[in-house]
Amino acid sequence: MTNRSEPYVVCLPREPGIPLVVSIPHTGTLLPADIRRRLASPEMAAQPMTDWHLHELYDFLPELGITVIHAVYSRFVSDLNRPPDGSALYPGRFETGLVPLETFAGERIFSEPPGPEELERLRREFHEPYHARLAELLTGHVDARGRVVLVDAHSVASGANRLHPALDRDIYLGDRDGETCGSWLRECLRTAFEVEGLSVSVNDPYKGGYITDHYGRLPGVESIQIEMCQRVYMDELMPEEGPRHRSFDIARHALRRVFTALAARIA
């Protein structure tokens, strides 16, 4: 595990492990005091857009030989799944930026938004270290084995917002329309989720964010994004219940079987 001063935690498997890395960039909830003071409302202090408890939901992964990196700080500090230069992932569609100023529902996040100098500081202090460590983990596998699979794990509230209508599937897989991985990876995950009774959509409405797009185009790396509807593992109206919710362990056992199947395919 990394030092707590870092904006991420890395959980390494016992050796030898397999060439599979899972990134969880939106599970963090820490907020520096100067950021928290400038949130626009109590609703923003509750941190909508968080991928609640995912690092706990996936805590079994190192037992399967899988390396995990997850965020410590809220995406209100720096969105680790956005390009560092602020370029658009989906030109013409509403997007939140490197530091989001509005939620997916159009609510204002900050009473006083960060200016250019602060944006650059946040990028340097939070976004850059996460990606440097993620790149190091991936490069280590490519150097040792010639290849690595990257899964970028997310969860999403199922209600309608500015990005999509209400979500009726359980799992949304994104590989940038087949550009970031071979079809074997997408179909392996789709089949494994469907065996668990979970409905799956591919590249609609989520095609994968910056992490999937950027790293999946590097030599030796195949990447895919998993968006799981939060209703699968928690009460969306009471995120604080987290692992105490009755569906949490059911979902974790299903995910263990999904990733066991994927690990066997990779190994």
Q: What are the residue ranges spanned by the domains of the chain? A: 8-266
DSSP label at 110? B
pLDDT value of residue 231: 98
pLDDT value of residue 89: 87
Q: Are strands 171-174 and 221-229 parallel, antiparallel or unpaired?
A: antiparallel
- What is the identity of the amino acid at 128? E
Q: What SS3 state is found at 210?
A: helix
Question: Which fold is adopted by the domain 8-266?
Answer: Aminopeptidase (3.40.630)
Q: Where are the beta strands (DSSP E) in 75-164?
A: 148-156
Who's near 234: CB < 8 A, 6+ residues apart?
A: 52, 53, 241, 242, 245, 247, 248
pLDDT value of residue 135: 98
pLDDT value of residue 2: 39
pTM of the model: 0.96
CB neighbours (10 Å) of residue 105? Answer: 14
Who's near 187: CB < 8 A, 6+ residues apart?
A: none
pLDDT digit string (tens) for the chain, length 267 residues: 434 468 999 999 987 899 999 999 999 999 999 999 999 999 999 999 999 999 999 999 999 999 999 999 999 999 999 999 989 888 888 889 999 999 999 999 999 999 999 999 999 999 999 999 999 999 999 999 999 999 999 999 999 999 899 999 999 999 999 999 999 999 999 999 999 999 999 999 999 999 999 999 999 999 999 999 999 999 999 999 999 999 999 999 999 999 999 999 998
pLDDT value of residue 95: 87
Question: Which has the closest alpha carbon to 47: 34, 58, 36, 56?
Answer: 36
Give the span between the Cα atoms of 3 and 6, in whole angstroms. 6
pLDDT value of residue 91: 83
Phi, psi of 225 (to 5 degrees): -105, 140
